[in-house]
Amino acid sequence: MKMFYAVLFTLAFFLGSSTRRSDAQDVTEVISRDLYETMFKHRNRFYSYDAFVAAARSFNGFGTTGDFITRKRELAAFFGQTSHETT
């Protein structure tokens, strides 16, 4: 059942946003605060959007390399895996 939710979550993220920028310099251009808050309504408040952005920025190229679809897929895979592993 966890795998089902991880796949569903990943698909929802991948299909959700309509931003089409091809020159993203930061994960904030791929996932907005509102989308993050919507996707993680029941998370521990320790895992805030600001904490996610700070962590993502510490890994050069994470969510910022390639075209928009590639960046979105990378974040969807990350969120799908972390959701599957944590709840």
Other beta carbons within 10 angstroms of residue 42's beta carbon come to 5
As given in the structure block, the two tokens for residue 1 are 């059942």
Among residues 75, 23, 69, 71, the alpha carbon closest in space to that of 49 is found at 75
- Active-site position among 29, 37, 74, 85: 85
Concerning whether 29 is annotated as a catalytic residue, the answer is no
What CA–CA distance (Å, rounded) separates 61 from 41? 27
- The Cα 23–Cα 64 span in angstroms is 8
Give the active site residues. 85
